[in-house]
């Protein structure tokens, strides 16, 4: 059975996080994209659960939301892209060939550790390399011409799934990142939910990915900015 990083190791890596934050704090402070943030507490977890894990995909080492600690967070980061030269399928195909083409590589870099095709494929595995303790292994569990979904694996600070997708929203390209996750352990829950440090780093990472996707499509985010919608189920898993 895979061994999870020890609690002591979590604290030691967490102590290095300020180094990682310092690398991106300037960009974060001077960001000009308009952000619309909302967070609501929900009682019913039903509408905020990820899709069932596909039966045809290897489920070993997976950290599902049932394995996590603390509240369930359903988050959606979304933006409309004006002036794009690429359509939804073209944009997703481009990202599948190189996730780092849209990723904020000063903060996070995707390294494929399983799979050798020209583009992302179901069953492939990546490690998201970040300064500090946020390195996280993930597996591709689903994909369509307009989307792909990743599940967290043992060693990730979160337990759940995340999906990247592009759609044609009233003839305008929309890019969305949607996640369903809980903290993987008590320390992760402290950093994410209680202290909020991890939440802000994660926010910066995914809105930067949205901005990268807009540039990759040769467009720009519309003036109304990025919507960040969070639904929190505090009693998830409670007896």
**Structural domain contains residue 49:** no
Q: Can you tell me the mean pLDDT for 223-231?
A: 95
**Structural domain contains residue 2:** no
Q: Can you tell me the mean pLDDT for 187-196?
A: 62
**Structural domain contains residue 50:** no
Instruction: Read off the pLDDT band of 189 (50, 70, 90).
Output: low
- What local confidence, expressed as pLDDT, does residue 66 receive? 95
Checking if the pLDDT of 7 tops 50, the result is no
Range of the domain at 179: 7-44+55-233
**Which of 24-38, 47-61, 190-204, 211-225 shows the lowest mean pLDDT across its residues?**
190-204
Q: Give the total number of structural domains in the chain.
A: 1
Q: What is the mean pLDDT of the chain?
A: 85
Residue 161's CATH number:
3.30.530.20
Report yes or no on whether pTM surpasses 0.85: yes
**Structural domain contains residue 82:** yes
**Structural domain contains residue 127:** yes
Instruction: Read off the pLDDT band of 16 (50, 70, 90).
Output: very low
Over the chain, what HEC string results? CCCCCCHHHHHHHHCCHHHHHHHHHHHHHCCCCCEEEEEEEECCCHHHCCCCCCCCCCCCCECCHHHCEEEEEEEEEEEEEECCCCCHHHHHHHHHHCHHHCCCCCCCEEEEEECCCCCCCCCCEEEEECCCCCCEEEEEEEEECCEEEEEEECCCCEEEEEEEEEEEECCEEEEEEEEEEEECCHHHHHHHHHCCHHHHHHHHHHHHHHHHHHHHCCCEECCCCEEEEEEEECCCCCC
**Structural domain contains residue 238:** no
**Structural domain contains residue 135:** yes
pLDDT in tens, 41-93: 999 999 999 999 999 999 999 999 999 999 999 999 999 999 999 999 999 99
**Structural domain contains residue 239:** no
- What local confidence, expressed as pLDDT, does residue 159 receive? 94
User: Higher confidence at residue 143 or residue 197?
Assistant: 143
């Amino acid at each position: 059975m895979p061994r999870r990083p020890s609690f002591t190791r979590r604290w030691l890596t967490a102590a290095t996080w300020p180094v990682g934050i310092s690398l991106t704090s300037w960009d974060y402070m001077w960001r000009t994209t308009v952000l619309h943030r909302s967070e609501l507490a929900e009682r019913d977890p039903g509408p905020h659960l990820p899709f069932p894990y596909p039966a045809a995909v290897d489920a070993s080492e997976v950290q599902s939301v049932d394995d996590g600690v603390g509240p369930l967070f359903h988050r959606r980061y979304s933006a409309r892209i004006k002036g794009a030269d690429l359509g939804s399928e073209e944009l997703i195909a481009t990202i599948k060939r190189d996730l780092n083409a849209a990723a904020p590589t000063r903060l996070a870099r995707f390294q494929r550790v399983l799979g050798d095709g020209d583009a992302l494929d179901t069953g492939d595995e990546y490690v998201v390399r970040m300064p500090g303790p946020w390195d996280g292994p993930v597996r591709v569990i689903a994909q369509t011409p307009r989307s792909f979904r990743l599940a967290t694996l043992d060693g990730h600070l979160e337990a759940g799934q995340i999906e990247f997708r592009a759609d044609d929203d009233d003839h305008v390209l929309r890019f969305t990142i949607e996640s369903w996750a809980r903290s993987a352990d008590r320390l992760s829950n402290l950093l994410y939910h209680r202290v909020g440090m991890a939440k802000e780093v994660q926010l910066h990472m995914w809105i930067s990915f949205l901005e990268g996707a807009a540039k990759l499509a040769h467009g720009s985010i519309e003036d109304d900015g990025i919507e960040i919608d969070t639904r929190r189920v505090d009693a998830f898993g409670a007896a």
